[in-house]
Structure 1
Amino acid sequence: MNTPRVRYRDVAPHTFTALLGLEKVLAESLLEPSLRELVKVRASQLNGCAYCVDMHSADALKAGETVRRLLSLPTWQETPFFSARERAALLWTETLTLLAERHAPDAVYAEVAEQFNERELAELTFAIATINAWNRIGVGLAMQPE
């Protein structure tokens, strides 16, 4: 098991506070809390961030998510457990998280835009960008669940 490489909260509190500020704004978005947590867990799974998967799985359960759906998240496309809106959010999460592979094509955007108004789509995109930033901090600095 790795130990954290840098205690970023202590050595760069100004940047930590800035990213945390974005999280606080996103918590007040139009997106449902359970949807935001599904996005965070799925991106964290794709990025291999054990710290974030652990934290956001617990947060998802607190937000009313079920264990069954959390366990099915890696296979969301093959299960009937997710709504069209959730599927669109997960598709957009995977597309933007795997941006180098997927390149956010117009067809995917159009599919996602059918489920979200412009503000929601912008907030969803910011939520995905933010969790990807946290994942890069968590993986890059070898953070581990406690």
Structure 2
Amino acid sequence: MTIRISIKDLQPEAYKAMMALENYAKSTEVSSTLKELIKIRASQINKCAYCLDMHTEEAIKLGESERRIYLLSAWKESHLFSEDEKAILQLTEEVTDISENGVNDVTYNSVIARFGEKITAQLIMLIVVINSWNRIAISTRMIYKK
């Protein structure tokens, strides 16, 4: 598999805008480990090896257990995730697969009830940002190098 264009080099202003979104994502009130779980789950759905490699490594550095990372693709059946985490992971899946059915009211209302409007807005933006990175990495065949 050959690497394709570098958006960072060819369109630095676009990349700068993505980095601004990434910096916003880093500043949200959502815990760092939960941010990484969101990134991993969206990247699993999108099959983005670059982002999976990066974010599983980061999650482990932050103290996330490898066991939970291994079970993330089957979170609905796992007892290792809290109800709050399950609500966020459901939102992650629905936003990532937005063309399937959108975000259903049950999911949306559950997240609003648990976290309020401000954190829900932050969660949606976190999911949007990682989905954007996934699309950049996949379409340009980026390779993660430590």
TM-score by length of 2: 0.95
Partner of 1:42: 41
Partner of 2:31: 32
- Structure 2: which amino acid aligns with 1:134? W
Matched, 1:65 2:64: yes
Partner of 1:105: 104
- Structure 2: which amino acid aligns with 1:79? S
Summarize the alignment of residues 1-146 of structure 1 with structure 2, pairs less than 5 Å apart: 2-146=1-145
**Number of aligned residue pairs:** 145
- Deviation of 1:102 after TM superposition, in Å, equals 2.4
- Deviation of 1:114 after TM superposition, in Å, equals 2.3
Contact 1:3/1:143, CA 8 A, preserved across alignment: no
Q: How far apart, in 1, do the equivalents of 2:70 and 2:111 lie?
A: 23
Q: How far apart, in 2, do the equivalents of 1:59 and 1:108 lie?
A: 27
Q: How far apart, in 2, do the equivalents of 1:102 and 1:46 lie?
A: 15
Higher helix share: 2
Contact 1:41/1:52, CA 8 A, preserved across alignment: yes
- Deviation of 1:85 after TM superposition, in Å, equals 1.4
Contact 1:3/1:144, CA 8 A, preserved across alignment: no
Q: CA RMSD in A?
A: 1.0
Which 4+ residue blocks in structure 1 deviate beyond 6 angstroms?
Answer: none
Contact 1:44/1:50, CA 8 A, preserved across alignment: yes
- Deviation of 1:144 after TM superposition, in Å, equals 2.5
- Structure 1: which amino acid aligns with 2:53? D
- Name the SS for the 1:114 alignment partner: helix
- Name the SS for the 1:145 alignment partner: coil
- Structure 2: which amino acid aligns with 1:19? M
- Structure 2: which amino acid aligns with 1:63? L
Q: How far apart, in 1, do the equivalents of 2:19 and 2:3 lie?
A: 19
Contact 2:40/2:51, CA 8 A, preserved across alignment: yes
- Structure 1: which amino acid aligns with 2:5? V
- Deviation of 1:63 after TM superposition, in Å, equals 1.6
% same residue: 39
